């Protein structure tokens, strides 16, 4: 059977998507393996060193809801402050569940100071930007990979305001979010679990329409 050039392109495209998603999956498994190894090593050290200080619990284990987890991490201090200024603490302390794609401190440092100052003064505008980073429902990295597979390399998730955010795997095999204006942010950390959802870290701030 002859295979046309068009069919070849489709097959190559599908193969590229599967390879990208597989790379994302492998990265996740490798991260988990490293974390488990480190945890085992720490356990071994604790059992042999009687004077070792008490182990520090992960923020998600000690801080409860997503607001608490964000507040307990220095990397998300600007996000936690912005949530407080926008009067969103009560919203994000609700049952949810929520998936928060939270810009980290580096992401907020990229926002021009005049823009940041303007947002901090306009609580309604700030709230709209922050809620654009909050997805209705709980999506761990495993759930996201499943959604990408189902969508053949893309997944569209709805924010708590009903807006759409597109997830895809970029050419470096990183999970990338694209906002309504075409801006992008890369997920740099995954699966900080909270009692009412999960948090993933972003390297940039997304903007709604």
Helices (H) and strands (E) in the chain, counts: 9, 7
Averaged over 53-72, what is the pLDDT? 62
Helix then strand then coil, % of the chain, to nearest 5? 50, 20, 30
The pLDDT, as a whole number, for residue 56 is: 30
Read off the pLDDT band of 118 (50, 70, 90): confident
| CATH number of this structure's domain 60-202 | 2.30.180.10
Cα–Cα distances in Å, from 131 out to 1, 104, 139? Answer: 52, 15, 16
Which residue do the tokens 């926008």 mark? 86
- The residue extents of the domains of the chain are 60-202
Backbone angles phi, psi at 165, to 5 degrees: -125, 135
User: What pTM, to 2 d.p., does this model score?
Assistant: 0.72
pLDDT at 14 over 60: no
Q: CB neighbours (10 Å) of residue 165?
A: 20
The pLDDT, as a whole number, for residue 134 is: 96
Percent of the chain topping pLDDT 70 = 70
Averaged over 44-63, what is the pLDDT? 36
Averaged over 175-184, what is the pLDDT? 88
Read off the pLDDT band of 117 (50, 70, 90): confident
Q: Which residues contact 167 (CB under 8 A, 6 or more apart)?
A: 144, 147, 148, 154, 155, 156, 157, 175, 176, 177, 178
From 131, 186, 118, select the one nearest 159 (Cα to Cα): 131
The pLDDT, as a whole number, for residue 49 is: 37
Cα–Cα distances in Å, from 184 out to 63, 147, 174, 195, 205? Answer: 29, 19, 12, 28, 8
3-state secondary structure (DSSP) of residue 199: strand
Averaged over 15-29, what is the pLDDT? 50
In angstroms, the CA 9 to CA 98 distance is 38
Averaged over 38-52, what is the pLDDT? 36
Q: Which residue has the higher pLDDT, 32 or 105?
A: 105
Mean per-residue pLDDT of the chain = 77
The pLDDT, as a whole number, for residue 42 is: 34
The pLDDT, as a whole number, for residue 142 is: 92
The pLDDT, as a whole number, for residue 53 is: 29
The pLDDT, as a whole number, for residue 43 is: 35
Read off the pLDDT band of 5 (50, 70, 90): low
The pLDDT, as a whole number, for residue 47 is: 35
Are the beta carbons of 160 and 135 closer than 8 angstroms?
yes
pLDDT at 179 over 60: yes
Q: Which residue has the higher pLDDT, 166 or 54?
A: 166
pLDDT at 191 over 90: yes
In angstroms, the CA 167 to CA 173 distance is 12
């Amino acid at each position: 059977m002859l295979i046309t050039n068009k069919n070849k392109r489709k097959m190559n495209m599908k193969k590229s998507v599967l390879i990208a998603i597989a790379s994302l999956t492998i990265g996740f498994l490798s991260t988990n393996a490293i974390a488990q190894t480190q945890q085992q090593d720490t356990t071994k050290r604790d059992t042999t060193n009687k004077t070792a200080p008490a182990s520090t619990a992960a923020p998600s284990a000690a801080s409860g809801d997503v607001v608490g987890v964000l507040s307990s991490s220095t990397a998300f201090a600007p996000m936690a402050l912005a949530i407080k200024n926008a009067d969103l603490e009560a919203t994000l302390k609700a049952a949810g569940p929520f998936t928060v794609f939270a810009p980290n401190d580096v992401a907020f440092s990229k926002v021009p100071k005049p823009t940041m100052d303007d947002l901090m003064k306009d609580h309604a505008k700030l709230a709209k930007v922050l809620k654009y980073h909050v997805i209705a429902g709980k999506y761990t990295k495993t759930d996201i990979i499943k959604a990408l597979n189902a969508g053949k390399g893309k997944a569209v998730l709805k924010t708590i305001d009903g807006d759409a955010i597109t997830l895809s795997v970029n050419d470096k095999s990183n999970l990338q979010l694209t906002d309504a204006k075409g801006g992008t942010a890369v997920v740099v950390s995954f699966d900080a679990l909270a009692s009412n959802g999960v948090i993933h870290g972003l390297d940039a701030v997304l903007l709604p329409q």
